[in-house]
Each structure stands twice: as C-alpha cells, then as structure tokens.
Amino acid sequence: GAVVSQHPSRVICKSGTSVKIECRSLDFQATTMFWYRQFPKQSLMLMATSNEGSKATYEQGVEKDKFLINHASLTLSTLTVTSAHPEDSSFYICSASVQGEEAFFGQGTRLTVV
C-alpha cells in the first residue's frame, strides 16, 4: 500500500506554545487529507478534512482557530495546535487519500502538553 509519513512521532511542549505536525504522502498525490484525534482507549475521532488548495472543513465541536490546518500541496498537510493546553494531549493521526480511493494512515503523533 501507499505510504503516509507523519512527523514528529512524539512531541512534548509547554502549555501555551504551538506545535506543528506534518503529514506527507510519500509515493502518491493526496487530493484529500484527514486529521483524527484519539484519546487513550478510545476510537479515532475525525477533526477535519482538508483538500489541497482550499480551506479545511472542521467537524462539529473542533475549534478551527485552535487547530490550524494547511494543505499547501498534494503531498503535505500540516496541523498546528495553537496555544496548547494539557487537555490537548492526545494521539493525532492523519490519513491521505486520492478521491474515491482508500485512505492510508500515518503512524500518528503523540502530543503531551506539560
């Protein structure tokens, strides 16, 4: 299957700072990328959908000003957690797909805000 690389795999940051997570499709061009969040022992919850060159669509309850998503190219989407707080600590996972095809997941980023 296709490869989606997510970086960093783990990050610890201080409360009030911002953190950027990158999601890259390495061997295909992704028209759409998705960002999920997973709390311990819970399922993945979709946060937002981003299409290359357009604004992301956020799911209900997700603050777009806090979770900034940029999908500047067909191989890269970034999620920036702004002014992070301890409650933002979670496992963030991206997936990438070509329209109408299956989505491939990155390996996830574990964010810890202290």
Partner 1 sequence: QKEVEQDPGPLSVPEGAIVSLNCTYSNSAFQYFMWYRQYSRKGPELLMYTYSSGNKEDGRFTAQVDKSSKYISLFIRDSQPSDSATYLCAIGGSSNTGKLIFGQGTTLQVKP
46 binds partner 1 (CB under 8 A): yes
104 token code pair: 């491939």
**Measured distance CA(29)–CA(40) in Å, rounded:** 31
Residue selected from 7, 22, 49, 66 as contacting partner 1 according to rule CB under 8 A: 49
Identify whether the C-beta of residue 35 lies closer than 8 Å to the C-beta of residue 41: no
Minimum CB separation of residue 56 from partner 1 in Å reads: 12
Window contacting partner 1 (CB under 8 A); options: 30-38, 62-70, 72-80, 81-89: 30-38
Q: Helices then strands (H, E): number in the chain?
A: 0, 11
76 token code pair: 């890269």
The residues that touch partner 1, with contacts defined as CB under 8 A, are: 1, 6, 32, 34, 36, 41-46, 49, 91, 93, 95-97, 99-108, 110
